Amino acid sequence: MTNVKQVVQVRLLPTPEQASALLATLHTCNAAASWLSGQMRTHRVFRKFDVHKRFYTELREQFGLGAQPAIRVIGKTVDAYTTLRANLTAGNYGPPGSDRRRKVENTPIVFRLHAAQPFDARCLSWQLGDVGREGTVSVWTTAGRLRNVRIVGNPGHLALLRSRTAIGETDLLHRDGVWLLHAVVENPEAAQQDPANGFLGVDLGIVNIATTSDGDRFSGARLNRYCKRQQRIRKRLQAKKTSSARRLLKKRHRKEARFAADVNHRISKTIVAEAERTGRGIAVEELTGIRDRVRLRKPQRATLHSWAFAQLGQFLTYKAQQAGVVLAQVDPAYTSQTCHACGHVDKRNRRSQAVFHCGRCDFVGHADHNAAHNIAARGVVRWGEVMRPDAAPILAAS
C-alpha cells in the first residue's frame, strides 16, 4: 500500500532573541545556496553526489554550517536545478534560441535571503505533548540549538503530527513577519474501491469552474468578479510605481492565491465526497497543456492564466487517494462537440458557451453538462484499459 503525502502548517511563536537567530539562519543558508549555485553553474556539476564530493567541505568552512544543514543546502540547490531543467524541457521559458531561454540557461539560480529552508529530523525535533493546540520544537540555527520554541496550530493538524512516529522534511518559512513550519507527513492510501457504479465525469471551464455529469455546476461568476476587481486594483497600483504600492501588490497577490486555493479545496472535496457516496470513480480531462490548446478571446485570457487548474487537479487527486476513489484522466478532445446521446460529432453542435444542440438527434442541453457525460463515458473506457491491458486499443503503425 502506497502513502499519500500531506503538508501540515503550524505557526512558530519565537521570542525576539529566537527570531533573530532564525532570521540569521535563513540568511546564511540562502547565501550558501546562492554561492553553491554559482559554483555548480561555473563548473557544470549538477549531480547531487558530485556536488557533495566537490563542494561540501568548502561550503561548511565558508558559511559555518553544520554537517546536516550543509547537506540540506546541497539538496535544496540540486533540486532547484532539477526543476529548472524540467521547465526548460517543457518549453516554459520559450523555444530554444529565444532570448528568455538563453538568459535562464546562462544565469545561475539565486535564492532570496528569506526563502524557505528545509530541515530534517536531525535538525528539527518536535515536542507536542498529548493534547491541545500548542507544543514546542527544537531547531538548529547558526547561533546554536534553539530549544522550547513555541508553536501553535490547528488541533486536528497537531493531532495528525502526534500520531506519526516519524515526521518528514519540514520547511522553515518567514512570510509577512510570521514564522511558519510546513511539515510533510505520510498517510496510508485508502484501499481503492472498484467503481462498480461507473464514473462521475467532471468538465472544467472558466464560466463554470467545474460541471459534473450529475448536473452540479460550480459557477465561476463570483470568482470572475473577484479576479476582475483584483486586476483593476493591480493596474492602479502598478501605475503608481511607489514602494508602498509594490508592498500592497505583493500582499494582494498572496490574498488572491489563498482565495483560489480555498475555492479549489471546496470544489474538490464536494466532488470526491459525492463519488465516494455513490460508489463511483472520478473522470477528469487531462490538464496538461490546457493553456496551449485552449483558444480564447483577449478578455478571457487573463482569467484562464490566473486560475490554478493544475492545483484543482492535484486537490482532486490526493483527496481521491485518501478516500480510496478511482480517478482517471481522459483525452478531452471533442468532448464539447460530441452528443452524449447519439455520439454525433460536429462543432456546430456547440451553439454557444452554454447551449448544446445536436444536429442529428435534436438533443438539447447544457454544453458543460453534455461534455461531463462524455468524460464520464471515457472514464469507463479508460478504466477498462487499465484493468484489462489486453483489451486496450492497439495503434496502427504509421
Q: DSSP label at 397?
A: P
Contacting residues for 362 by C-beta, under 8 A, at least 6 apart:
none
Contact of 279 with 325, CB cutoff 8 Å: no
Mean pLDDT of the 118-126 span: 92
- In the three-class reduction of DSSP (H, G, I as helix; E, B as strand; rest coil), residue 330 is classed as strand
Q: DSSP label at 121?
A: T
For residue 189, pLDDT beyond 60: yes
For residue 6, pLDDT beyond 90: no
Residue 256 pLDDT: 77
Contact of 262 with 181, CB cutoff 8 Å: no
Residue type, 343: G
CA angle 166, 167, 170 (to 5 degrees): 155
The DSSP line for 332-382 is: -TTTTTB-TTT--B-GGGB-SSSEEE-TTT--EEEHHHHHHHHHHHHHHHH
Q: DSSP label at 284?
A: E
Largest Cα–Cα distance of the chain, in whole Å? Answer: 77
The overall average pLDDT reported for the chain is 87
C-alpha cell at 166: 516519524
- In the three-class reduction of DSSP (H, G, I as helix; E, B as strand; rest coil), residue 201 is classed as strand
Residue 130 pLDDT: 81
C-alpha cell at 199: 464514473
Mean pLDDT of the 377-393 span: 73
* C-alpha–C-alpha distance, residues 227 and 350, integer Å: 27
* C-alpha–C-alpha distance, residues 22 and 119, integer Å: 13
- In the three-class reduction of DSSP (H, G, I as helix; E, B as strand; rest coil), residue 60 is classed as helix
C-alpha cell at 121: 529530523
pTM here?
0.76
Return the minimum-mean-pLDDT range out of 145-159, 189-203, 260-274, 292-306: 292-306
Q: What are phi and psi of 285, to 5 degrees?
A: -75, 150
Question: Where in the chain are the domains?
Answer: 15-117, 120-188, 199-222+259-391
* C-alpha–C-alpha distance, residues 89 and 108, integer Å: 17
pLDDT digits 0-9 by tens, 17-26: 999 999 999 9
Long-range contacts of 332-335 (CB under 8 A, 24+ apart): 332/285, 332/286, 332/375, 335/203, 335/285, 335/371, 335/374, 335/375, 335/378
Residue 218 pLDDT: 86
Return the minimum-mean-pLDDT range out of 88-102, 208-222, 286-300, 352-366: 286-300
Residue 1 pLDDT: 53
pLDDT digits 0-9 by tens, 310-369: 788 889 988 998 899 999 999 888 898 999 999 999 989 988 888 999 999 999 999 999
Indicate the CATH number of 199-222+259-391 among 3.40.720, 1.10.3470, 1.10.287, 3.30.420: 3.30.420
Q: What are phi and psi of 32, to 5 degrees?
A: -65, -40
- In the three-class reduction of DSSP (H, G, I as helix; E, B as strand; rest coil), residue 203 is classed as strand
Among candidates 12, 15, 9, 18, which has minimal Cα distance to 151?
12
Alpha helix positions (H), 46-183? 48-63, 67-90, 99-106, 155-162
Residue 397 pLDDT: 38
Contacting residues for 212 by C-beta, under 8 A, at least 6 apart:
200, 201, 202, 203, 271, 274, 372
